[in-house]
Chains A and B, each alone.
Chain A
Amino acid sequence: MAKNTLSSRFRKVDIDEYDENKFVDEQEEAAEQQGPDEAEVDSLIRQYPLREQERAQGIVLKVLTSFRSSEIEQAVKSLDKNSVDLLMKYIYKGFEKPSDNSSAILLQWHEKAFAVGGLGSIVRVLTARKTV
């Protein structure tokens, strides 16, 4: 989320180039680089269709903004643990693309969901591998 302010030039250094045993291993590595890349990329795109995800996000955002402030707490209380985590994911996704009145209501949702889910639910938004 926050870009680190220290130099990250060390990340461009390929440490394996400076390995003592590099010469012996060079032939083995060349053989590993061949192989179908396009097929992999194609299948990955098919698995996670981006358009479906965006539609789902739009719908959820509409639902969240249509709630009245007083109803939010009750709604959050009715959710089970997994759903609270899912709700947190959608809240943060909504934060990423702020529109006119979404941020205020999302912040209220966030406060109520945080009271139930705690810091753990936010950590799970950050570490989740399946994004919404």
Chain B
Amino acid sequence: MSYYNFLLEPISCHAWNKDRTQIAICPNNHEVHIYKKEGGDKWSKIHELKEHNGQVTGIDWAPESNRIVTCGTDRNAYVWTLKGNVWRPTLVLLRINRAARCVKWSPKENKFAVGSGSRLISICYFEQENDWWVCKHIKKPIRSTVLSLDWHPNNVLLAAGSCDFKCRIFSAYIKEVEEKPSPTPWGSKMPFGELMFESSGTDGWVHSICFSGSGGRVAWVSHDSTVAVATGSKNTVISSLRSETLPLLGVTFITENSLVAAGHDCYPMLYVYDEGKGTITFGGKLDIPKQNAQRGMTARERFQNLDKKASSETEKATLESVHKNSISQISILEGDKSKCRKFCTTGMDGGMTIWDVKTLESSMKDLKII
């Protein structure tokens, strides 16, 4: 895996372009910086997108149409298009009176969803006649800030995790831009705003949510240190695992049965879902700590330790993981949610790490990604 430190401040959010040569990050301020990969391990800043008046909380880069959508605490969202060598913003009226928290392009890139502190989701699509972006709101029954969003592959269903401790799946069907969707395991009637699924049983804000590659499963992590997966069907069953770690902040499927999640413990971990048994099991810690040379302690150091810390242990108080602070976002770099080859994590230490699934599998014994 390779680690690159962009800056000393947390990276609020990041997004990759289609061929993964450029990354757009928010360096914990009102701007978005786009870095381009120069050979080896070097990154150079090529663009600065300055339009927001508040911290940028969400960035998503549409791979096919090459548009970037950003949303921020200034209650606005902008769609950026590349004209020549400059990114030009277009304001999108979200009609919210609290900060926007997350944004995601739909798979077909004809609409995007914004979750906000106004306790609603804005689904925005482009209206050709008036040449601007309009939005529709999904309000009921959301009772608190929407923290995370993920689209189903059919471009209609949207999963939302919010601070009212629930994960929900809504229909975001916009008749102006698409055909009626065919039935899915989550339901067959999908008018706009219809609640297809609502979770129960976990306490804690839902920090991150992810559909599986096929869309038949949804996984979420919440602030009470649990990971949960639900498989869509007539009687949807929710399986959850209470972990011994600190709360997780990001989760993604890397195969139909395996999840990678990371959070305040600063390292990614693997979870395996077994639909037959309805269980989630901890698959292992995905961080290879560097083997530092163990220097022996001199007698003087031992006494000094005893004097200062009242212990003569040789344990260091530093983190052994690659990231030195919480990981806030995970994204898939190579492959897709059903077969991921590489994924990327960014965190509050301002660093970005790229993890290779094959390398992890071969270097950690007992790690099986099914």
User: Interface on A for B, CB 8 Å cutoff?
Assistant: 15-16, 19, 21, 81-82, 85, 117-121, 123-124, 127-129
Shortest Cβ distance from residue B6 to the other chain A in the assembled complex, whole angstroms: 28
Q: Is B223's CB within 8 Å of the partner chain A?
A: yes
Query: With A and B bound together, what is the CA distance between A120 and B203 in angstroms?
Result: 13
A123 with B224: CB separation less than 8 A: yes
CB neighbours (8 Å) of B203 from chain A are 124, 127-129
A21 to B94, CA, bound (A): 14
Q: A120 contacts B204, CB within 8 Å?
A: no
| Neighbour of B224 across the interface among A15, A19, A118, A127, CB < 8 A | A127
Q: Do residues B225 and A123 form an inter-chain contact, with CB atoms below 8 A?
A: yes
Q: Are A16 and B223 in contact (CB under 8 A)?
A: no
Q: Which of B239-247, B314-322, B349-357 lies on the face that meets chain A?
A: B239-247
Point out the residues of chain A lying under 8 angstroms from B242, CB to CB. Answer: 81-82, 85, 120-121, 124
Q: Are A120 and B243 in contact (CB under 8 A)?
A: yes
> In the docked arrangement, what's the CA distance between A121 and B203, Å?
13
Q: Does B165 sit at the interface, judged by CB under 8 A?
A: yes
Please indicate the chain A residues that have their CB under 8 angstroms from the CB of B224 in the complex. Answer: 123-124, 127-128
In the complex, what residues of B have CB within 8 A of residue A129's CB? 165, 203
| B97 interface contact, C-beta 8 A | yes
28 A–B pairs (Cβ distance < 8 Å), ordered by A: A15-B97, A16-B97, A21-B97, A81-B242, A82-B242, A85-B242, A117-B244, A118-B243, A118-B244, A118-B245, A119-B225, A119-B244, A119-B245, A120-B242, A120-B244, A120-B245, A120-B246, A121-B242, A121-B244, A123-B204, A123-B224, A123-B246, A123-B247, A124-B224, A124-B225, A127-B204, A128-B203, A129-B165
B residues 201-221 touching A (CB-CB < 8 Å): 203-204
Tell me which residues across on chain A come within 8 A of B225, comparing CB atoms.
119-120, 123-124
Which residues of chain B come closer than 8 Å to A123, judged between CB atoms? 204, 223-225, 246-247
Q: Give a binary string over B171-192; 1 marks a CB under 8 Å from any A CB, 0 the rest.
A: 0000000000000000000000
Interface of chain A: mostly helix, strand, loop or mixed: helix
B: number of interface residues (CB 8 Å): 13
**B165 vs chain A, min Cβ distance (A):** 7
Among B244-267, those with CB < 8 Å from A are: 244-247
- With a CB–CB cut-off of 8 A, which chain B residues contact A21? 97
Complex Cα spacing A128 to B33, Å: 39
Main secondary structure of the interface of B (DSSP, over half): loop
Q: Would you give the shortest CB distance from A28 to chain B, in whole angstroms?
A: 13
Q: B243 contacts which chain A residues (CB < 8 A)?
A: 118, 120
State in angstroms the CA–CA spacing of A123 and B247 once bound together: 8
Whole-angstrom distance between the Cβ of B207 and the nearest chain A Cβ? 12
Per-residue contact bits, chain B 110-142, to A (CB 8 Å; 1 contact, 0 not): 000000000000000000000000000000000
User: Least Cβ distance of B80 to chain A in Å?
Assistant: 25
- Which B residue sits closest to A121, measured CB to CB? B244
Residues B246 and A119 in contact, CB atoms below 8 Å apart: yes
Those 9 A-B pairs whose CB atoms lie nearest each other, nearest first: A118-B244, A120-B225, A127-B224, A120-B244, A127-B204, A123-B225, A129-B203, A124-B224, A120-B243
Specify which chain A residues have a CB less than 8 angstroms from the CB of B204 in the assembled complex. 123, 127
Q: Restricting to B148-165, which residues have a CB under 8 Å from any CB of A?
A: 165
B residues less than 8 Å from A81 (CB atoms): 242
Q: Shortest Cβ distance from B16 into chain A, in angstroms?
A: 31
Closest approach, in angstroms, between the C-beta of A50 and any C-beta of chain B?
Answer: 20
CA distance A61 to B33 in the complex (A): 56
**Closest-CB distance, A45 to chain B (whole angstroms):** 22
CB distance from B323 to the nearest CB of A (A): 17
Q: Which residue of B lies closest to A84 (CB)?
A: B242
Please, how many angstroms separate the alpha-carbon atoms of A6 and B225 in the complex? 28
| Chain B residues whose C-beta falls within 8 Å of the C-beta of A85 in the assembled complex | 242
Binary flags per residue of B224-248, CB closer than 8 Å to A gives 1, else 0: 1100000000000000001111110
Whether the Cβ atoms of B223 and A127 lie closer than 8 Å is: yes
A85 to B225, CA, bound (A): 12
Give the CA-CA distance A119 to B243 in the complex, in Å: 9
Find the A residue at minimum CB distance from B222.
A127
| CA A124 to CA B241, docked complex, whole Å | 12
8 extra interface residue pairs, beta carbon distance < 8 Å, beyond A124-B242, A129-B203:
A16-B97, A120-B225, A120-B242, A123-B225, A123-B247, A124-B203, A124-B225, A128-B224
| Nearest chain B residue, comparing its CB with the CB of A22 | B97
How far is it, in angstroms, between the C-alpha of A21 and the C-alpha of B204 when the chains are bound?
33
In the bound complex, residues from chain B placing their C-beta under 8 Å from that of A124 are 203, 224-225, 242
Alpha-carbon gap, A118 to B247, bound state (A): 12
**Chain A, Cβ-Cβ closest to B223:** A127
A130 to B246, CA, bound (A): 20
